[in-house]
Amino acid sequence: MLTGGQIQAFYRSSTGEVQEGADGSEIQKALSDERGLLWVDIAVRSPDAGRFLADNFTFHPLAIEDSVVERMDPAKIDDYGDYIFIVVQALNRYDPNAELEPAEVDIFLGPNYVVSCHRTDVPAISGFMERCKRNQQALAHGADWLLHALLDAIVDEYLPIVDALDETIDGLEERVLQRADGGIPQQIMMVRRNLLRVRRATLPQREIMNRLSRGEFPKLIRQEAAIYFRDIYDHLVRVEYLVESLRDLADGALNTYLSVVSNRLNEVMKVLTAAATVFLPLTLISGVYGMNFSHNQFPGFEEPWGFPVVAGTMVAIAVALLGYFRYRRWI
């Protein structure tokens, strides 16, 4: 048995009266009202949701199974004659440090009803439901207009997520230029995965909107409503274009990071090489004068001025090499 938290319903009768909530008998009454409009939203929490759909509607068992199973189905649209079954994916909350988790929304569209099913909370649907409670005119049109409103609300959530991804990439680019720390590649790869998830959700839904807008289902979607699905199609095309642009920006940020790290490594190696080159002749001199012979024949070895001269020679060689490196702009 579905509880009130799992099912919410709106029924607008042919006389214009709107009623919230409905049980089995009221649903049958609403379905028989050809000029009325019924919207049933089901939060799938248990197998009772499948039994509710089978008991109150004449949906195909395969469509009901797709609505209640836990797996994530790709976006699609199936024509069952008297109704169509649509699967779309909603994108909810965005976290820069986590992968996007799409939420599947299954929608049945009939002549005078819309049934929506989802296994997780979908803010787009909840927000539209609150609009219906505040303004019942949102239910004043037919089922095809209600379907458009639901799909439009779901797709409208895409752009804020794409904008947030854009801001994340901008922040990463600034961090790369200021200080290329080791955590940047992981965050860039997270952005790329999230962009890929948005793209996977966008492409098949674009085809769905195209089919809904070109009059392929005249029994269920009137011509005056079909043009509005073209607007959703345009939104998805824009999202796809932005996603492709952001993927290029993410690749550019990663390449910039690798270039900065490589340049920093080159600078470090340049300094170390210069230091090693400077100390090489000094080590040679100190090594030669440090050899143990019983009768050392090195110039000035036993003279009081020998050590200062050798040390001064070593300092002069070091200064000369540093000056030469500076002249050649090697350091």
**H-state helical runs in the chain:** 24-32, 48-56, 61-68, 123-134, 143-156, 158-178, 184-213, 223-289, 306-327
Q: Model-level pTM greater than 0.75?
A: yes
19 strand-pairing partners: 11
The DSSP annotation for 240-274 comes to HHHHHHHHHHHHHHHHHHHHHHHHHHHHHHHHHHH
Q: What is the pLDDT of residue 298?
A: 60
Structure tokens at 63: 């469509």
Q: What is the pLDDT of residue 1?
A: 47
Q: What is the pLDDT of residue 24?
A: 64
Cα 315 vs. chain centroid, distance in angstroms? 60
Per-residue pLDDT tens digits of the chain, which is 331 residues long: 454 458 888 888 777 777 777 666 677 887 877 788 888 888 887 777 888 888 888 888 898 888 888 888 888 999 998 899 999 998 888 888 888 888 899 999 988 889 999 988 888 888 888 887 777 777 778 888 999 999 999 999 999 999 999 998 888 888 887 776 777 888 888 889 999 989 988 888 999 999 988 888 888 888 888 888 999 999 999 999 999 998 888 888 888 888 888 877 887 787 778 778 777 877 777 776 666 655 555 666 666 766 777 777 778 887 887 787 777 666 6
Q: Residue 40: in which H helix or E strand, if any?
A: strand 37-43
270-327: what CATH class?
mainly alpha
Cα atoms found within 13 Å of the Cα of residue 99, Cβ hemisphere only: 9
Question: Please, where in the chain does CATH 1.20.58 lie?
Answer: 270-327
1-143: what CATH class?
alpha beta
Structure tokens at 259: 């270039």
Question: Please, where in the chain does CATH 3.30.460.20 lie?
Answer: 1-143
Structure tokens at 314: 């070593």
Q: What is the pLDDT of residue 4?
A: 47
